[in-house]
Amino acid sequence: MISVVIVGTGNVAQNLYHAFKKSSEINIKQVIGRNREHLAFVQNKALISTDFSNNITADVYILAVSDDAISAVAQKFKGIDGVLAHTSGATSLDAIKFAQRPGIFYPLQTFTIGKIISLDTIPLCLEATNSKDLNILKTLGNQLSKSVLEVNSEQRKTLHVAAVFVNNFTNYMYTMGSEICAAHNIDFSLLKPLIKETASKLDTLTPIQAQTGPAKRGDQKTLHNHLQIIKDKHQRELYTLLSNAIKEKHGKEL
């Protein structure tokens, strides 16, 4: 049995709470947040606390707060005896090095407000300053996911940058697609099977192998025709930039 305290009320805190709750090997001792209303997701109301200067002992304190708040909130827990682990991809271990036993418990996933997803296959990227603390985090992680790995702060930051490309920027491409549809009164949901399959292709292909389209083929006629259709200046610039990048990557010349 491993005991945890969750600090935070956002998407990560909520998803971890539900995942921890499912394991008979994990004892959630407390969930702490500033705002009692934001703690409504905690079904067992006895676990709720708004007191950050608590004295409850636990093996692990999960600090699932926004990047900006990590250091300040961690300060309130620096006296605790358990492992104090933040959940940020972009924040180094150094940000909480004043803690007695600093650690990182970073789930490499995008979380949506109000949507609880399975963490079963989500990489949990762990870091600690010694093997004992690392093993405690591993014990906790193994209860949630098949993919638990030690990742140092530099690797984790790199993963986070790559995640920005495949998640944040990909989603922005979806935004562009939806705006193009909206401008022509076309239902964006028609593109959803394509979006799903674009992601699924990576089950069997590398992104380089999976690349298709007019830029990849060097199909100047279609590239030209598309630029006739796109009226928005920003979308035109993006279309040209990314088409040229794909052409260059795949060895086609303008």
- Residues 25-44 binding its own copies (CB under 8 A) are none
Site string for its own copies, 199-218 (x = CB under 8 A): xxxxxxxxxx-xxxxxxx--
Identity of the residue, 143 or 147, whose beta carbon is nearer to its own copies in the bound complex: 147
Question: Would you say 81 or 232 has its CB closer to its own copies?
Answer: 232
Give the Cα separation of 124 and 86 in Å (integer).
12
Residues 64-103 close enough to bind its own copies by CB under 8 A? 67-68, 90
Structure tokens at 131: 């093997």
174 forms part of the interface with its own copies (CB under 8 A): yes
55: CB partners within 8 A, 6+ apart: none
Q: At what angle do helices 233-249 and 170-183 cross, to 10 degrees?
A: 130
Q: How far apart are CA 65 and CA 248, in angstroms?
A: 41
Segment 45 to 64, residues that bind its own copies, using CB under 8 A: none
Report the residue number, 57 or 168, with the smaller CB distance to its own copies: 168
**Both tokens assigned to 206:** 């590398």
214 Cα distance to chain centroid: 32
Among residues 53 and 193, whose Cβ is nearest to its own copies? 193
Q: From CA 180, how far away is CA 187, in angstroms rounded?
A: 10
Hey, which residues between 124 and 163 contact its own copies (CB under 8 A)? 147, 149, 154-155, 157-163
Question: Closest approach of Cβ 196 to its own copies, in Å?
Answer: 5
- Closest CB 64 distance from its own copies, rounded Å: 15
Q: Quick one: 143 or 178, whose CB is closer to its own copies?
A: 178
User: Of 104, 168, 164, 176, which is closest to residue 133 (Cα–Cα)?
Assistant: 104
Q: How far is the CB of 251 from its own copies (least distance, A)?
A: 14
Report the candidate in 47, 51, 44, 96 with the shortest Cα–Cα distance to residue 69: 96
